[in-house]
Amino acid sequence: MEELNLITIPDSQLDSCLSCPDEAKRWFSFGFSVIPVLPNSKITAVKWDPWLEELSLNSIFSYWKKNPSHELGFIVGDNVIVLDADSPESITSLINIETAFAVTPNFIVQTKKGVHHYFNLAQGTFAKSDSHDTKNHPDCIDVKTGRALIILPPSTGKEIEICDAENAADLVEVGQDFIDAIFRVNGREEPRTFIPDVKTASPTSTNAKQLKILTDKLDPDIGYDEWYRIGMALYYETGGSDEGLNIYDAWSSKGTKYIGTQKIRAKWSSFKSGSSKPITVGTIYKLLADQNIHYCEDEFIECDYEIIENSEELNPLAKFSLRGQSAKLEAQISNASPVLGNLALKGQLSVWYAEFNSGKTLLAFHLAIQAIMEGHIDPSKLVYFNLDDSGAGLLDKLNLADEYGFEIIADGHNGFNSANFELVLTDLLKQNQTKGLIIVLDTMKKIVDIMSKSDTTRLSKLLRRFSVQGGTFIGLAHTNKNKVGGKSQYGGTNDIMSDFDCGYVADVVSNEGGVKTVEFTNIKRRGNVPENKSFSYSNDSSLSYCQILASVQEVDPTQLVRLKQVEQQKADEEIIASVRSLIVEGINKKMALAKAVALDSQVSQKTAIGILERYNGKILHWSYSVGPKGAKIYSLT
């Protein structure tokens, strides 16, 4: 490789650079091993090692002449270290350490999230790359050195804040004490050169089974650099085979940061570097040794061993325990605040059962729009699966979604198939993309057979994982055809109701005068949701969907009582007429009258007695007086 010619680049010149092609030549002259990256990404556009082996001003000029829009980064190397602080807390941690060691960086780059501080490593100083999840560890500082990629200005989101260094050799130097302090703040062991011994040395031949055993002992949520190097080691040791890819994918899928098989496959392909210094299984052994993870080399059968000072590790169920992960769980769980008119709460699984044509979809849209307008939910996080509608109906809903900014998904559109709903949800869970999502599924019968115990149990388990990871689910379903005591009953097996957090059954209580009134009755709840809630809306078929939606109103409880009384009397009119007729005929003693009414109206004697008592003393009905031996004798009023 051509020897670097280090030249002075004044700060004023760096700030005036306008293009990545020009900057690539300047940073190369500064002493950095520059490499092209795809625009607005951290993905290199070329293979690392072949590029670096041929790196020169001529190769830079030739490449960017053909690809002027490509941005740039550099491979940090063993002599330079870049400290990446992506949050206010980590920036404070970094400044505190620099202050304590009286170190002031002479090269700082501003990023979208924070800063990059550049240093040289003093001779004999050992460091290694280290990365963290900023959300869960906001005070930790990412460390980039060795074969680590850093994006350089003027690439997207990168600007020079300070550059008083004339070249890379002029960067402020830090020693081992400084590096150790960074790792201590990060909660890591102080980095030291790895010298393999008998217990940690790699066997002469490591087969796929052994590689799987080794990787399974490591946490896939390990820092990105370590995760990446493990992939490179697996690629090298298995010759880039599908067997090695399957090991990498299966191991990665156990972590919360899993990016999916397709992206893992793309990452696997990027390992075809042809490096003269490949990453081998020794990297995996080193990580095991750093974390004091035990294993046996003899046929890679796991050893039995005893840790006397910490007997708790002998608990066989400890590996499943959530102890010490409260912060992580808290970050996933949504606060149980109202979502749709407090008939559903965030982070819960809710189901609404209603009879056909009762307006459940209309009311769901009304409550969703109301929640958006009142700021209770983020419309970009609301996804309405409209799977039970006509083309015209779908268009009406889509226009509303466009207006209020939420998502509509329909069967057979944009590649979505209702049969794949569970696969879509599983993929969201693997990629940790569920927090804050609100899914309304209309209707549940389109994705699961609610009469099948095994199907509903499987779906409920999947949805519970969704809610535990911060998602909210509201399913709409139909009631049974047969009512009990005039009340609708939920359809299907009881598994959904057993496994969900909240359930309502909706009944039409009035449908007169062009207005339909629907009452939601709670049948299961966890949290502060109402026992009952009622809504009315226009039932005029000449109105548009938007006009009907605009007519929805919540019904006052006292008004609902009056409506129910009117509807009850309408339902009882035939029996009332029978009572009056039989009293006129002289059948007026209570039990004889009840028996005759039951026979005449084809109802039970219990129902007949209920009618007698309900309308007793009412105007235009009847009342009774007490006769001989306490007999109740009825007469018309």
Mean pLDDT of 258-265: 84
Mean pLDDT for the stretch of residues 99-107: 93
Contacts of 272 (CB under 8 A, 6+ apart): 47, 235, 240
At 516, which helix (H) or strand (E)? strand 515-524
d(CA 435, CA 467): 8
Q: Which residue has the higher pLDDT, 392 or 225?
A: 392
Residues 303 and 434 in one domain: no
Residues 158 and 239 in one domain: no
Percentage of residues in the chain having pLDDT higher than 70: 86
Query: Are 15 and 153 contacting, i.e. CB atoms less than 8 angstroms apart?
Result: no
**Residue 315's pLDDT is what?**
64
- Ranges of H-type helices in 238-324: 242-252, 261-269, 282-290
Establish if 19 belongs to a structural domain: yes
With bands split at pLDDT 50, 70 and 90, how would you rate the model's confidence at 277? low
Looking at the domain assignment, is residue 94 inside a domain?
A: yes
Burial of 227 (0-12, 13-18, 19+ CB in 10 A): buried
Q: Which residues have a Cβ under 8 Å from the Cβ of 240 and sit 6 or more positions away?
A: 268, 271, 272
The band of 10, judged by pLDDT with boundaries at 50, 70 and 90, is: very low
CA distance 317 to 51: 49
Of 623, 628, 631, the residue nearest 583 (C-alpha)? 623
**Partners of residue 71 on adjacent β-strands:** 37
Percent pLDDT > 90 in the chain is 27
The whole-number pLDDT of residue 203 equals: 38
Q: Report yes or no on 199 lying in a domain.
A: no
Both 113 and 238 in a single domain? no
| Shared-domain flag, residues 224 and 138 | no
pLDDT at 218 over 70: yes
The better pLDDT of the pair 380, 257 is held by 380
Mean pLDDT for 27-39 is 92
Which range is least confidently modeled, 3-17, 19-33, 130-144, 212-226? 3-17
pLDDT average, residue stretch 265-288: 72
pLDDT at position 579, please? 84
Rounded to an integer, the average pLDDT of 505-526 is 86
- For residue 194, pLDDT over 50 is answered with no
Preceding peptide of 105 cis, ω within 30°: no
Q: Is residue 192 part of a domain?
A: no
Residue that finishes a domain, picked among 523, 555, 587: 555
Task: Work out the mean pLDDT of the chain and round it to a whole number.
Answer: 82
Can you give the CATH number for the domain in which 373 is found? 3.40.50.300
Full domain range(s) for residue 613 = 572-636
The answer to whether the Cα torsion of 380, 497, 444, 446 is positive or negative is positive
- Compute the average pLDDT of residues 233-247: 85
In a domain, 140, yes or no: yes
Residue 103 lies in a domain: yes
> Looking at the predicted structure, is the pLDDT value of residue 477 above 70?
yes
Residue with tokens 């004023």: 12
58-64 average pLDDT score: 91
Lowest average pLDDT, out of 1-10, 393-402, 520-529, goes to 1-10
pLDDT at position 342 = 83
Q: What is the pLDDT of residue 473?
A: 95
Considering the domain boundaries, does residue 202 fall inside one? Answer: no
Question: Going along 57-154, which residue ranges are E strands?
Answer: 71-85, 107-110, 115-121, 142-151
pLDDT top residue among 319 and 100 = 100
User: How many domains, the chain?
Assistant: 4
- Give the residue from 555, 585, 615 where a domain finishes: 555
Which backbone phi and psi does 266 adopt, to 5 degrees?
Answer: -65, -40
pLDDT at 175 over 70: yes
Contact 518, 359 (CB under 8 A): yes
Residue 385 domain-assigned (yes or no): yes
Pick from 507, 527, 555: which residue ends a domain? 555
pLDDT surpassing 60 at residue 81: yes
Instruction: Check which CATH number belongs to the domain holding 582 and give it.
Output: 1.10.10
Mean pLDDT to the nearest integer, 114-135:
88
Residue 457 β-bridge partners: none
Whether residues 549 and 624 fall in one domain: no
Tell whether 23 and 168 lie within a shared domain: yes
- List Cα–Cα distances, 547 to 229, 362, 494, in angstroms: 60, 11, 37
Q: Is the pLDDT of residue 301 over 90?
A: no
135 and 282 housed in the same domain: no
- Are both 230 and 112 inside the same structural domain? no
The per-residue pLDDT for 604 is 85
Residues 173 and 26 in one domain: yes
Contact 155, 45 (CB under 8 A): no
Residue 262 and residue 144 share a domain: no
Could you tell me the two tokens for 282? 């020794």
17 and 125 fall within a common domain: yes
DSSP string, 191-223: P------TTTPPPS---HHHHHHHHHTS-TTS-
Same domain, 116 and 159: yes
Taking Cα atoms as reference points, which of 40, 37, 10, 11 lies closest to residue 24? 37
pTM: 0.46
What are 345-400's pLDDT values in tens digits?
888 999 999 988 888 999 999 999 998 888 888 899 999 999 988 888 899 999 99
